[in-house]
Amino acid sequence: MIAVGSDHAGYELKQEILEHLKERGEQFEDFGCFSNESVDYPVYGKKVAQAVASGEYEKGILICGTGIGISITANKVKGIRAALCGDCFSAEATRLHNDANILALGARAVGGGLALKIVDTFLDTEFSGDERHARRIRLIEED
Ligand code: RB5
């Protein structure tokens, strides 16, 4: 199950991504926002991050204008590893090495075609499971 959210700047790309997830046969939930009307990205970043951290959702996708504000927000929630990706190499690497559980996208930075490829790469790449990567992820979690 995938949790998806955006602010107003990411709203249109979110709608495209939801359609794409439907075509892929994915199960997902839209946490908003629900129009182009101006909203605050931390509200949606927190909703999706908390949903993923709860364990109820396996992964999340977050979109704002740059992807920066919403990923900063998500990464403040314990257990969240949100990766802002603007290319498929990074999307693959962050799954393989960081076991990232949230993909963040900047709707003003990437076009729709590339964004959907990044989503596919993120969802289709498993964590490598390598001990050195698992150790580093444990170190992230340490206080
Ligand atoms: C909204 O104008 C914009 O600041 C927001 O979408 C995002 O880019 C913040 O990081």
Compute the distance from residue 7 Cα to the ligand 1 centre, in Å: 8
Distances (CA, A) of 63 to 18, 40, 106, 134, 136: 12, 12, 6, 27, 26
pLDDT digits (tens, 9 = 90+) for 17-67: 999 999 999 999 999 999 999 999 999 999 999 999 999 999 999 999 999
Predicted TM-score (pTM) of the model is 0.98
- 64 in active site: yes
Compute the distance from residue 86 Cα to the ligand 1 centre, in Å: 16
**Tell me, what DSSP letter sits at residue 105?**
E
By alpha-carbon position, which residue is closest to atom 10 of ligand 1? 69
